């Protein structure tokens, strides 16, 4: 819930939303530094921004030189307050003030290295060569009059620029993401050294404020949750339970048949510990599997699952069995769910989350939704859970997608062989990615390299930046046959393949827990892909990543002993031909493949 107007200070810094995936992350990072910030549309008139201490222009998926691209009011550059442009915002500043922006020969996605070129208050305490996070193909090729080039990378000659007299700065990279090493320092420099902000915001101790918001939204109505047992829905449910009392809040777990091994019992135990009589299980697996039979397209999968969730929910609620009287639906929606579904004004849809399909949008329009966590990120939700006293066993669980194993079980229409491409093989498997803040859906490159090679992730970054036809790079850890002899096979969702994935996922989770590796990563998806031989038609892709909030992620290598154990155990499973490791950061690859 957003803070109530009477509890919120005046925004010192306004973030202008040009549709970037990280727009809300910018505002959140500013609040973490103790400065209250708000997000407004990019075209907000300069007259409405008078009095703010600073303006940040976000990134976005468009090109500034295209018709219809998001714009800002040029008068903001004459307000006298500092302006910081990030990615698309950097290009917007150059475009409006007389510089040049052009399409680059190569994109730059994920980790890169910035070299600062001259002293600047923006880089105070953050000078020299440093790791940054990029996601762009367009680039500023000439700075406007009065600007200096402050930093560059091997691919981007103008990665940072500034006009110190007017206090206007542009960064092609993203200081707001955790993988930019000095990002926090750079933002702090802008806030305190350049804008002169004062600390007026404490992001901790939010439970009481959020519970007050729940009471206002509920307005005497009951709240019904369809819970997954993950961190988000459990924390949201607990907040509502404490705000409204057990007589007004109920939780139902819908078993879709798409869950991991042992999931239903784990969820039952968690909610039984929160209070007796507030939780029940509904077995809808036959209905979900029937609706998904033969479906291959990832967005269609998500739509079917999301809409069917709403249908099942409405039927259950209409029965009157679980709640009596007027009700509203509670959800554990967090910021990334709305952002990747195009939840900001101009954001590109990367993938439709199940809690943002049309049926849910209708409930939102009817004021029949309460989403206590919709302005928070995963790490903030975990901190809130600790404030509520929830057990660490729950709070440290790896995120699991609402659509379940359905989006980790890839499908294909036809069979095609892999093709040689440079020093690898192009696999005719398509996965979802995010490149330059836009959705991509492209084939996967299998790197021709040994799994123990020390520079695998660096090579993956280079290939994705160079090869526009791919958005993801993997490497074979072990295989029954040479990679070059593999083909995809026509495959859809079915019980056989879902059970195969469920067994593989259970093997990986057990081993990762026993080796202590699950504590070293933020999430460890296991993907089943229809690539192999007629006798063994599927392969497994391991996707361990490190992240803070799911907005960006770093692909993590596997320890040798764990890699060898997982390869041996997975290859022994019926129908599995090979085991691969995903080397792709986010961006350009989303954490999930679909």
Output the pLDDT for position 346.
55
Q: Are residues 133 and 165 in the same domain?
A: yes
What CATH number has the domain bearing residue 312? 3.40.50.620
565 part of the active site: no
HSE value, Cβ hemisphere, 13 Å, CA-based, for 191: 28
| Structure letter (DSSP) for residue 81 | S
Output the pLDDT for position 359.
57
Q: Are residues 354 and 385 in the same domain?
A: yes
Domain contains 3:
no
pLDDT tens for each residue of 300-333: 998 999 889 878 877 887 787 766 668 888 999 8
Cα(119)–Cα(215) distance, rounded to whole angstroms? 51
Other CB atoms within 10 Å distance of the CB of residue 441: 14
Please tell me which residue in 24, 90, 174, 179 is annotated as part of the active site: 174
524 to 159, 334, 519, 520, 547: CA distances (angstroms):
33, 20, 10, 10, 11
The closest of 491, 487, 477, 471 to 430, measured between CA atoms, is: 471
Cα(299)–Cα(342) distance, rounded to whole angstroms? 14
Q: Are residues 237 and 188 in the same domain?
A: no
> Is the distance from CB of 580 to CB of 448 less than 8 angstroms?
no
Domain contains 236:
yes
Q: Which helix (H) or strand (E) holds 108?
A: strand 100-116
Domain contains 124:
yes
Q: Are residues 261 and 308 in the same domain?
A: yes
Q: Are residues 185 and 296 in the same domain?
A: no
Cα 538 vs. chain centroid, distance in angstroms? Answer: 27
Please tell me which residue in 87, 156, 195, 577 is annotated as part of the active site: 87
Output the pLDDT for position 379.
76
| Structure letter (DSSP) for residue 358 | H
87 part of the active site: yes
Output the pLDDT for position 358.
57
Cα(12)–Cα(55) distance, rounded to whole angstroms? 9
The closest of 465, 464, 462 to 445, measured between CA atoms, is: 464
Angle CA(553)–CA(555)–CA(556) in degrees, nearest 5?
A: 125
Q: Are residues 100 and 162 in the same domain?
A: yes
Cα(37)–Cα(201) distance, rounded to whole angstroms? 9
Cα 581 vs. chain centroid, distance in angstroms? Answer: 20
Cα(242)–Cα(110) distance, rounded to whole angstroms? 41
Q: Which residue has the tokens 């892999």?
A: 418
Angle, helix 378-387 to helix 231-244, in steps of 10 degrees: 40
* Partners of residue 55 on adjacent β-strands: 14, 83
Domain contains 513:
yes
Strand order in the sheet with 160-163: 37-41, 13-17, 54-57, 83-86, 168-171, 160-163, 148-152, 100-116, 129-142
Cα(406)–Cα(411) distance, rounded to whole angstroms? 10
Q: Are residues 416 and 552 in the same domain?
A: yes
Q: Are residues 311 and 351 in the same domain?
A: yes
Domain limit, last residue, from 162, 194, 226: 194
Output the pLDDT for position 336.
62
Cα(223)–Cα(237) distance, rounded to whole angstroms? 9
Output the pLDDT for position 318.
75
Please tell me which residue in 108, 156, 176, 263 is annotated as part of the active site: 176
| Structure letter (DSSP) for residue 2 | P
What CATH number has the domain bearing residue 516? 3.30.300.10
Domain of residue 419 covers 409-582
> Is the distance from CB of 209 to CB of 3 less than 8 angstroms?
yes
Domain limit, last residue, from 149, 169, 194: 194
Locate 118 and state its tokens.
């001259």
What CATH number has the domain bearing residue 166? 3.40.50.880
Domain contains 587:
no
Strand order in the sheet with 222-226: 279-283, 249-255, 222-226, 327-330, 369-370
Domain contains 590:
no
Left, alpha or beta for 332 (phi > 0: left; psi -120 to 50: alpha)? alpha
Q: Are residues 117 and 237 in the same domain?
A: no
Output the pLDDT for position 383.
87
Locate 93 and state its tokens.
């500043």
Locate 29 and state its tokens.
């990072």
Cα(277)–Cα(246) distance, rounded to whole angstroms? 8
Q: Which residue has the tokens 């006009």?
A: 163
* Partners of residue 303 on adjacent β-strands: none
Domain contains 202:
no
Q: Are residues 161 and 213 in the same domain?
A: no
Domain limit, last residue, from 353, 375, 400: 400
pLDDT by position in tens, the chain (length 594): 333 322 446 899 999 999 877 888 899 899 889 998 988 999 999 999 999 999 999 998 889 999 999 999 999 999 999 999 999 999 999 999 999 999 876 667 778 999 999 999 999 999 999 999 888 789 999 999 999 999 999 989 999 999 999 999 999 999 998 889 999 999 999 999 999 999 988 756 789 989 999 999 999 999 999 888 889 999 999 999 999 999 999 999 999 999 999 999 989 988 988 887 889 999 999 999 999 998 888 889 989 998 898 788 778 877 877 666 688 889 998 866 655 555 455 555 544 544 555 556 677 777 888 999 987 777 788 889 999 999 888 898 888 888 899 999 999 999 999 999 998 999 999 998 887 667 889 999 999 999 999 899 999 999 998 998 999 999 999 999 999 999 999 999 999 999 999 999 999 999 999 999 999 999 999 999 999 999 999 999 999 999 877 778 899 999 999 999 999 999 999 999 999 999 999 888 899 999
Cα 163 vs. chain centroid, distance in angstroms? Answer: 33
Secondary structure of 422-438 in the HEC alphabet? CCEEEEEEEEEEEECCE
Q: Specify the number of domains making up the chain.
A: 3
Secondary structure of 238-271 in the HEC alphabet? HHHHHHHCCCCEEEEEEECCCCCCCHHHHHHHHH
pTM score of the predicted model: 0.69
Q: Are residues 418 and 364 in the same domain?
A: no
> Is the distance from CB of 552 to CB of 178 less than 8 angstroms?
yes
CA torsion, points 72, 78, 83, 87, in degrees to nearest 10? Answer: 40
176 part of the active site: yes
CA torsion, points 432, 230, 498, 588, in degrees to nearest 10? Answer: 10
What is the sign, positive or negative, of the torsion defined by CA atoms of 105, 108, 113, 119? positive
Beta strands 100-116 and 129-142: pairing type?
Answer: antiparallel
Cis peptide before 568 (omega within 30 of 0): no
pLDDT tens for each residue of 524-579: 999 999 999 999 999 999 999 998 777 788 999 999 999 999 999 999 999 999 99
Q: How many residues does the chain have?
A: 594
- The H helix count followed by the E strand count for the chain is 15, 25
Q: Are residues 441 and 459 in the same domain?
A: yes
66 to 120, 282, 371, 468: CA distances (angstroms):
32, 50, 36, 20
Domain contains 5:
no
Environment class of residue 287 by beta-carbon count within 10 Å: exposed (0-12), middle (13-18) or buried (19+)? middle
DSSP H helices in 412-523: 456-466, 495-514
């Amino acid at each position: 819930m957003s803070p109530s107007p009477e509890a919120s200070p005046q925004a010192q810094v306004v973030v202008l939303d040009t549709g970037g995936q990280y727009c809300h992350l910018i505002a959140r990072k500013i609040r973490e530094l103790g400065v209250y910030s708000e997000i407004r549309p990019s075209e907000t008139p300069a007259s409405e921004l008078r009095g703010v201490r600073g303006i940040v222009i976000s990134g976005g998926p468009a090109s500034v030189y295209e018709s219809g691209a998001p714009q800002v009011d040029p008068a903001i550059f004459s307000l006298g307050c500092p302006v910081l442009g990030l990615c698309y915002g950097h290009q917007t500043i150059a475009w409006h003030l007389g510089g040049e922006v052009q399409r680059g020969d190569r994109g730059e996605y994920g980790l890169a290295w910035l070299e600062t070129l001259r002293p600047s208050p923006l880089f105070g305490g953050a000078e020299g060569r440093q790791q940054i996070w990029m996601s762009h193909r367009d680039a500023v090729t000439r700075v406007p009059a009065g600007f200096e080039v402050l930093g560059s990378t091997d691919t981007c000659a103008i990665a940072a620029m500034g006009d110190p007299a007017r206090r206007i700065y542009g960064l092609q990279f993203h200081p707001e993401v955790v993988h930019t090493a000095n990002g926090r320092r750079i933002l702090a420099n802008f806030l305190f050294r350049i804008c002169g902000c004062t600390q007026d915001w404490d992001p901790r101790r939010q439970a009481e404020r959020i519970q007050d918001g729940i009471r206002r939204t509920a307005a005497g109505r009951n709240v019904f949750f369809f819970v997954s047992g993950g961190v988000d829905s459990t924390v949201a449910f607990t907040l509502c339970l404490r705000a409204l009392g057990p007589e007004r809040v109920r939780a139902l777990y819908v078993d879709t048949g798409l869950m991991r091994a042992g999931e239903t019992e784990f969820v039952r135990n968690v909610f039984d510990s929160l209070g007796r009589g507030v939780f029940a299980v509904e077995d809808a697996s036959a209905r979900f599997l029937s609706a998904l039979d033969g479906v291959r397209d990832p967005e269609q999968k998500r739509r079917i699952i999301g809409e069917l969730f709403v249908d099942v929910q409405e039927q259950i609620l209409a029965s009157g069995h679980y709640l009596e009287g007027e009700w509203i639906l509670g959800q554990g929606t967090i910021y990334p769910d709305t952002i990747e579904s195009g939840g900001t004004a101009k954001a590109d849809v990367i993938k439709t989350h199940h809690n943002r399909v049309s049926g849910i949008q209708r409930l939102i329009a009817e004021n029949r939704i309460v989403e206590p966590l919709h302005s928070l990120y995963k790490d903030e939700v975990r901190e809130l859970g600790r404030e509520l006293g929830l057990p660490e066993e729950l709070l440290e669980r790896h995120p699991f997608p609402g659509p379940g194993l359905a989006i980790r079980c890839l499908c294909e229409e036809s069979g095609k062989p892999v093709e040689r491409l440079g020093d690898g093989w192009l696999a005719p498997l398509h996965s979802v990615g995010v490149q330059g803040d836009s959705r991509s859906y492209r084939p996967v490159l299998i790197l021709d390299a040994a799994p123990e090679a020390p520079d695998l992730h660096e090579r993956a970054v280079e290939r994705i930046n160079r090869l526009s036809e791919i958005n993801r790079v993997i490497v074979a850890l072990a295989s029954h046959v040479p990679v070059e002899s593999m083909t995809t096979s026509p495959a859809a969702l079915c019980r056989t393949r879902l059970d195969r994935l469920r067994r593989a996922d259970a093997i990986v989770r057990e081993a990762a827990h026993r080796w202590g590796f699950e504590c070293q990563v933020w999430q460890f998806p296991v993907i089943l892909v229809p690539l192999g031989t007629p006798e063994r038609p599927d392969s497994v892709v391991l996707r361990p990543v490190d992240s803070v909030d799911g907005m960006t992620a770093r692909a993590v290598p596997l320890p040798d002993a764990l890699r060898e154990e997982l390869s041996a155990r997975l290859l022994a499973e019926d129908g599995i031909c090979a085991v691969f490791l995903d080397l792709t950061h986010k961006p350009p690859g989303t954490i999930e493949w679909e």
